[in-house]
Structure 1
């Protein structure tokens, strides 16, 4: 019996689903297995068993384990990118933008499915296709933050991108550190602490030549 079978009940076999629904089911099962075991230890047998399908059915949708992993990365990288963009668009108040962006990272890592582990804690980062996706989510989140900084300050695009990369990296690393701690600091308080730190730095740059306070 696999570790997955020992911890959770196996889904029933034989249920016919539309192709899209089946694909989503397989992705959900694969996420559980990859998060629990990592890429290298995960087996297609475990994923098929978790989904309650035969291996041929699994291979009809995904030719191999890497294809399945990359499909999950595409899905979850895009989720974070959209979350950061939504946070930035949620208000015109820059301090609240910082808070909303920090909270987007905390919400992402706190999600019960553990998808952030596939993106930020993958054991397959030496694979070029995986590295490309991880770099994409980092860069596109930074680009979204950069757009706001460049628009609101007199800084160049290159300077704004450096600051944006710093803010995104800070949010990601601290959110993961908080998740792996005993979480004695509640999420809202942790977000507020990080927002205060980030805002004290970014607020020092002039807003179209006018000092922010």
Structure 2
């Protein structure tokens, strides 16, 4: 009598995960938990369960929850900035690069919604020291985007030493993220249409927002 398929499955050896794969699974599970529940409400037990690893295995990679949180923040910050930088430093004229940046960010937030939530709408941890670190990431991200935009803004006549510079960077960053949030609840709108509308406003400015 042939063995039941489930019995065959049980006899099939499972491939042992490499350390880097286990770490990636842990960070992926932690990203979702921290983004949706916040640092304080997330337990290492639930992260381990979601990652499919024993809780003791987590300590091979992260000594405690704080270390895990900071590692996730750092890796996701790097990931987001890499995508944004790809658009800002892409080939073409300034308008094309504005469009590429908007498109890259909208596509990024669609593919990585938990990353966007963790980095731009973090839930307060209840730990003032940790919240200060998170605020530092927000400031560092603004500084990095400002540095990437500085050459184009200088050519546009913006004095980088004036208050106009950080205000413009904050306005552009906030506007593009606002479009991403709107697009997330209006997914039927084609990406190209959303990108073109945002680019037209950013490039022309409000007085010329209707011009192509």
TM class by shorter chain equals 0.7 to 0.9
Distance 1:103 1:171 in 2: 10
Q: Does 1:195 align with 2:199?
A: yes
Partner of 1:24: 24
TM-score by length of 2: 0.78
Partner of 2:167: 162
TM-score by length of 1: 0.78
Of residues 52-61 and 194-203 in structure 1, the stretch that sits farther from structure 2 once superposed is 194-203
Which of 174, 179, 194 is 1:174 aligned to?
Answer: 179
Instruction: Tell me if the contact between 2:37 and 2:123 (Cα under 8 Å) persists in the aligned partners.
Output: no
Q: Does 1:47 align with 2:51?
A: no
Flag the 1:93–1:200 CA change in 2: closer, same or farther, 3 A.
same
Instruction: Tell me if the contact between 1:146 and 1:163 (Cα under 8 Å) persists in the aligned partners.
Output: no
Q: Does 1:136 align with 2:140?
A: yes
Instruction: Tell me if the contact between 1:149 and 1:164 (Cα under 8 Å) persists in the aligned partners.
Output: no
> In structure 1, the residue corresponding to 2:41 is in which secondary structure?
coil
1:59 is displaced (CA, Å) by 1.9
Of residues 81-90 and 107-116 in structure 1, the stretch that sits farther from structure 2 once superposed is 107-116
Distance 1:84 1:157 in 2: 20
Instruction: Tell me if the contact between 2:22 and 2:53 (Cα under 8 Å) persists in the aligned partners.
Output: no
Flag the 1:173–1:66 CA change in 2: closer, same or farther, 3 A.
farther
Distance 1:202 1:182 in 2: 23
* RMSD across aligned positions (CA): 2.5
Distance 2:90 2:97 in 1: 7
Distance 2:49 2:30 in 1: 10
Partner of 1:10: none
Instruction: Tell me if the contact between 1:143 and 1:164 (Cα under 8 Å) persists in the aligned partners.
Output: no
Unaligned runs of 5+ in 1: 1-13, 205-212
Distance 1:98 1:202 in 2: 16
Distance 2:89 2:112 in 1: 25
Distance 2:200 2:41 in 1: 41
Aligned residues: 190
Distance 2:15 2:61 in 1: 16
The structure that has the greater radius of gyration is 2
Partner of 1:7: none
Unaligned runs of 5+ in 2: 1-13
Give CA deviations for 1:149-206 in whole Å, capped at 9, x if unaligned: 22x2333213444323321221122212321x233422221111111111112999xx
